[in-house]
């Protein structure tokens, strides 16, 4: 990165600020879907945008910035989860769903069901179906093979269906 | 595609039911945080004269003399081989610390003007990288924990922090990992900076620093290259020892106040076997992650 003058920096800062304001809300939503906590989502988003700012001079295309931001966000989330994992208690218990079929007020929301997935599977689901990335892109972002992403996606959908009902998004393919 | 749209629609619906706090000054806060990272990177480049580096800050007026034990590694690594002998001239055993007040072997460091390192470093040897049984990527906290282990018992530690810098791109080997700590009190101690970075090579030629920094670069007996520098900064005269191991690892250890810690001591940290790779014993890293408290940001995982 070459030296840039004050006016260049100001221009970059202005461009970045415009980008951050435009994307912060959406990024934070994705962060929330990943971590399930708005305050943590705020922190993740800020850390992500800070990294985007650092890389800003090296990234020219807007699409590349978005892709970079999502990659950083996912890594921040998974890194955070890994750091927290030793102090968290993992449960394999799934909620009962049979008795809830006719009771919409007690029905588990998709958001809650998503929160029951492992961090890696949740990341796959969010990136694949919320962010609409291809299998290949998700694999690249998560540092996984495409077959591993497909497998994680299949298992995640099966878990969601076991909680939300077998007919949940029946035609949502895992690939 | 219809199912996917329904999926998004349901999630969006669920999102509206949560108590979403206002975005607030997120963009401005991110800009400020990004500027801080950039400033830090620029400082590191200025000090190191090259791309980003990783840093551990260590320093103290309370260091009782030199602190190098002869073990050359710590709990974060496996046993170090018989070659892991540090031959710093002023490094007493950790079990037999100096009983007097800290003494500084190099009076030139008390000068207020930059001075070139006053000696060559032929006695410095580099122990092999520690063998790791169950490897885990090093983290800023693990660097700090290892630095604490290297320093003498009784040393005060504070202001622990660490993060990482983009050092050329992915994969993960090219991230530089940083950890910082102040040893001694915040007012009487000093900061020491140690750097873990996969350099993948040995620098050729001499050191490139210029006034007010003075430095020299020397090839050690085993082919490793060490660069030693003293420089003037806003807070006084700083120094660093930058070791380029033959296996491609670079470790930089910088002191904010060079009068508080000797070059030998800096080298003792830089050459520690545990810092000989970007991997440490998994159990040590995990313990560091759960016990070292401070302002830390871990690098992205590979």
Instruction: Give ipTM to 2 decimals.
Output: 0.77
Q: Which one of A88-92, A161-165, B203-207, B211-215 scores highest in mean pLDDT?
A: A161-165
Closest-CA residue of B relative to A125 is: B7
- Give B188→chain A minimum CA distance, Å: 32
Q: Which of A31, A46, A117 is the best substitution to test chain B (most B C-beta atoms within 10 A)?
A: A46
What local confidence, expressed as pLDDT, does residue A74 receive?
A: 85
Residues of chain B where predicted confidence (pLDDT) is lower than 70: 1, 42-122, 164-175, 185-188, 200-201, 204-213, 232-236, 300-302
Looking at per-residue pLDDT, the higher value among A51 and B117 belongs to A51
pLDDT score for B205: 65
Q: Which CATH number fits domain A1-99: 1.10.20, 1.25.40, 1.10.1060, 1.10.1740?
A: 1.10.1740
Considering the segment(s) A102-175 as one domain, its CATH architecture is: Orthogonal Bundle (1.10)
Residue of B nearest to A77 (CA): B300
Structure confidence at residue B281 (pLDDT)? 94
A25 compared with A87, residue with greater pLDDT: A25
Chain A residues closer than 8 Å to B17 by CB:
109
Give chain B as a 3 state SS string. CHHHHHHHHHHHHHHHCCCCCCCCCHHHHHHHHHHHHHHHHHHHHHHHCCCCCCCCCCCCCCCCCCCCCCCCCCCCCCCCCCCCCCCCCCCCCCCCCCCCCCCCCCHHHHCCCCCCCCCCCCCCCCCCCCCCCCEEECCHHHHHHHHHHHCCCCCCEEEEEECEEECCCCCHHHEEEEEEEEECCCCCCEEEEEEEEECCCCCCCCCCCCCCCEEEEEECCCCCEEEEEEEEECCEEEEEEEEECCCCEEEEEEECCHHHCCHHHHHHHHCCHHHHCCEEEHHHHHHHHHHCCCEECCCCCC
**Between B156 and A93, the higher pLDDT residue:** B156
pLDDT reported for residue B209: 58
Contacts B302 to A, Cβ<8 Å? 143
pLDDT of A62: 67
Q: Which pLDDT belongs to residue A30?
A: 92
Better pLDDT: A100 or B171: B171
* Contact list, A129 vs chain B (CB under 8 Å): 4, 7-8
- Is A76 in contact with B300 (Cβ distance < 8 A)? yes
Mutation to test the A interface, candidates B1, B5, B7, B20, most A Cβ within 10 Å: B7
CATH 1.10.1740 intervals, chain A = 1-99
Q: Tell me, what's the pLDDT at B187?
A: 63
- B201 or A142: which leads in pLDDT: A142
The pLDDT assigned to B247 comes to 85
Q: What does the pLDDT read at residue B173? A: 55
> Residues spanned by CATH 1.10.10.10 within chain A?
102-175
Predicted TM-score (pTM) of this structure: 0.46
- Nearest-Cα distance to chain A for B131, in Å, is 24
């Amino acid at each position: 990165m070459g030296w840039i003058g004050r006016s260049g920096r100001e221009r970059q800062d202005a461009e970045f600020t415009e980008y951050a304001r435009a994307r912060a809300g959406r990024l934070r939503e994705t962060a929330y879907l990943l971590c399930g906590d708005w305050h943590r989502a705020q922190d993740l988003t800020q850390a992500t945008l800070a990294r985007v700012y650092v890389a800003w001079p090296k990234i020219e295309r807007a699409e590349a910035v978005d892709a970079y931001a999502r990659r950083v966000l996912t890594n921040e989330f998974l890194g955070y989860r890994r750091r927290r994992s030793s102090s968290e208690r993992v449960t394999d218990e799934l909620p009962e769903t049979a008795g809830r079929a006719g009771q919409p007020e007690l029905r588990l929301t998709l958001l809650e069901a998503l929160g029951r997935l492992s961090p890696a599977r949740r990341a796959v689901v969010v990136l694949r179906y919320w962010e609409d990335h291809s299998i290949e892109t998700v694999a690249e972002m998560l540092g996984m093979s495409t077959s591993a992403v497909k497998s994680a996606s299949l298992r995640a959908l099966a878990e969601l269906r076991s909680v939300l009902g077998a007919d949940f998004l029946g035609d949502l393919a895992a690939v | 595609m219809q199912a996917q749209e329904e999926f998004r629609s349901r999630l969006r619906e669920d999102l509206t039911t949560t108590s979403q706090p206002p975005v607030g000054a997120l963009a401005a806060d991110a800009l400020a945080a990004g500027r801080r990272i950039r400033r830090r990177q620029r400082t590191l480049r200025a000090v190191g004269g090259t791309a980003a580096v990783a840093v551990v800050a260590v320093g103290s007026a309370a260091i009782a003399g030199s602190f190098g034990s002869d073990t050359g590694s710590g709990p974060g690594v496996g046993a170090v081989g018989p070659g892991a002998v540090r031959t710093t001239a002023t490094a007493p055993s950790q079990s037999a610390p100096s009983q007097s007040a800290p003494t500084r072997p190099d009076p030139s460091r008390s000068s207020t003007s930059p001075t070139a390192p006053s000696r060559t470093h032929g006695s410095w040897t580099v122990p092999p990288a520690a063998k790791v049984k169950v490897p885990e990527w090093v983290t800023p906290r693990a660097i700090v924990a290892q630095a604490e282990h290297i320093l003498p018992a009784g040393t005060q530690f504070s202001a622990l922090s660490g993060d990482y810098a983009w050092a050329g791109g992915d994969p993960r080997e090219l991230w530089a990992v940083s950890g910082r700590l102040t040893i001694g009190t915040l007012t009487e101690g000093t900061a020491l900076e140690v750097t873990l970075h996969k350099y993948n090579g040995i620098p050729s030629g001499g050191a490139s620093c210029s006034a007010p920094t003075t430095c020299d670069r020397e090839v050690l007996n085993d082919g490793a290259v060490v660069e030693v520098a003293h420089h003037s900064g806003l807070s006084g005269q700083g120094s660093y020892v930058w070791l380029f191991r033959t296996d491609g690892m670079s470790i930089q250890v910088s002191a904010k106040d060079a009068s508080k810690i000797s070059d030998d001591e800096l080298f003792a940290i830089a050459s520690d076997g545990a810092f000989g790779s970007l991997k440490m014993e998994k159990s040590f890293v995990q313990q560091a992650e759960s016990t070292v408290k401070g302002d830390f940001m871990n690098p992205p995982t590979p």
